[in-house]
Amino acid sequence: MQEWQNSGMASLPGPVPLRFLRQATLPGFGAPAQQRLEQARVLVIGAGGLGSAVLPMLAAAGIGTLGIVDDDLVETTNLHRQTLHSPADVGRLKVDSAADRLLPIAAGAVTLHPVRFEPHNAADLARAYDLIVDGSDNFETRYLANDVARALGLPLVWGAVSQFGGHVGAVLGDGGPDYRDLFPVPPDPSSVLTCADGGVLPSVCGVIGSLMATEVLKLLTGIGEPLVGRITSYDALTGRMREVAFQADPERAMRASTTEPSQEEPMQNPTDGAAQQDELDAQELADLLASGRPLQLVDVREPWEAEIVSLPGSVLLPLGGLGGRLDELDPEVPIVAYCHHGARSERALQMLRGAGLPARHLAGGIDAYSRTVDPSLARY
């Protein structure tokens, strides 16, 4: 761990320093809010695309201590969106490159953690801070950041981007709604497009990162209404934003015990012949729907997801309550279950088959269907 202290910020017992005057004059802000920023310790996970937007804004706003966690090296393919880094930084640790850019504008200290945020060190890293910002690019870290924040009672701001869009949300760490209420089961990583596979519009990182930085400032100063129990999604191709509300699930613990695979239980190899018979791809489903043959489409996502997009004619039976609603399905009519990326529908398939129902599930979920069959369907 390395720490640099910028001496450019005076303490704030009295008047607000000139450099912060334009934000301190905001209604409800003033010197007290600026003092809270000076005293705050914020840990940012990731110095990539989102970190490149979040970190400079927080540094310039007067955060007392900014911690950066990232063990990655700068690559040439990062440069179009990760604006903390330049071609001369290729091959360097991202935290070192980020520090070079941040120190001239940081009002406080910058602390570097050139490690990966993992189960064995996550709690120790987070414990030294007041708030966590998750700008990671993978679901493993995203769920871990959520769980650590909840366990330590820390607020969390998270964001995610993919291709032409992204979304952002916040967690208070007080037992209220969190990321697992929004996405109960992690998707199969192979079903999710990475930046390398699908690309990302650089300006999307700027938009989502700016929203994330705004949530951090709101949570630290107490101004405004934090984005808790809500997510804001942005679609660059249309220029539209939308908000979806969700609630904490009081039965989540029970749902997790029945829907998440046990670590001791071997996962079925998706290349096995039996697994191939259990699933169908997006084009196969489209052909089946076009044939007019009887079919029950079962959407096992959460209600907020169905509000964004769903397949016509489907019935919404969220995975957490599916076991108690199987009698709503016709045992004589074939069933196709689907979710966002395919992970939840695969678990639903086990429940449906266990009840003797003729079921398959949609590989890649509605996201694959919208990408390969019907581009008019919204993606999130």
DSSP for 305-342 reads HHHH---TT-EE--GGGGGG-GGGS-TTS-EEEE-SSS
Identify the weakest region by mean pLDDT among 10-19, 161-170, 260-269, 276-285.
Answer: 260-269
* pLDDT for residue 272: 35
Q: What are phi and psi of 164, to 5 degrees?
A: -105, 15
Q: 252 falls in which pLDDT band (50, 70, 90)?
A: low
Cβ pair 91, 73 in contact under 8 A: yes
Q: Which of 339, 363, 366, 368 is catalytic?
A: 339
Higher pLDDT, residue 273 or 139:
139
pLDDT band at 338 (very low <50, low <70, confident <90, very high): very high
State phi, psi for 245 to the nearest 5 degrees.
-95, 150
Span of 59-63, 189-193, 225-229 with lowest mean pLDDT: 189-193
Average pLDDT over every residue of 224-233: 93
Question: How far is Cα 364 from Cα 341, in angstroms, rounded to an integer?
Answer: 4
Q: Which of 137, 185, 176 is nearest to 156 (CA)?
A: 176
Tens digit of each residue's pLDDT (9 = 90 or more) over 24-34: 999 989 899 99
Mean pLDDT highest for which of 36-45, 258-267, 272-281, 313-322?
A: 36-45
Fold for domain 2-248? Rossmann fold (3.40.50)
166, pLDDT greater than 70: yes
What residues are paired with 234 via a beta bridge?
166, 241
Mean pLDDT on 187-198: 70
119 and 144 in contact (C-beta within 8 Å)? yes
Phi then psi for residue 314, to 5 deg, are -85, 155
Average pLDDT rounded to a whole number, residues 129-154: 94
Continuous H helices in 128-234: 139-152, 179-182, 195-198, 202-221
| pTM of full prediction above 0.85 | no
Contact by Cβ (8 Å): 139, 148: no
Query: Which pLDDT band, with edges at 50, 70 and 90, does 380 fall under?
Result: confident
The pLDDT of residue 12:
40
Which token pair is 275? 């697994």
Cα within 13 Å of Cα(291), Cβ side: 9
Q: Specify the pLDDT at position 270.
A: 30
Q: Model confidence over 262-284: pLDDT tens digits?
A: 333 333 333 333 334 788 999 99
Domain ranges of the chain: 2-248, 261-372
Q: Quick check: is 205 catalytic?
A: no
pLDDT of residue 5: 54
**Worst-scoring range by mean pLDDT, 38-42, 88-92, 214-218, 273-277?**
273-277
2-248 and 261-372, same CATH topology:
no
Amino acid at residue number 210: S
Task: Write down the catalytic residue from 93, 115, 195, 306.
Answer: 195
- Which token pair is 279? 């699933």
Note if 339 is an active site residue. yes
Homologous superfamily of 261-372 in CATH?
Answer: Rhodanese-like domain (3.40.250.10)
Mean pLDDT over residues 187-201, rounded? 74
Q: Which residue has the higher pLDDT, 238 or 2?
A: 238
Q: What does the alpha-carbon distance between residue 217 and residue 222 come to, in Å, rounded to a whole number?
A: 8
Q: How far apart are CA 121 and CA 270, in angstroms?
A: 32
pLDDT for 6 equals: 52
Q: What is the mean pLDDT of the chain?
A: 87
Question: Residue 233 above 90 pLDDT?
Answer: yes
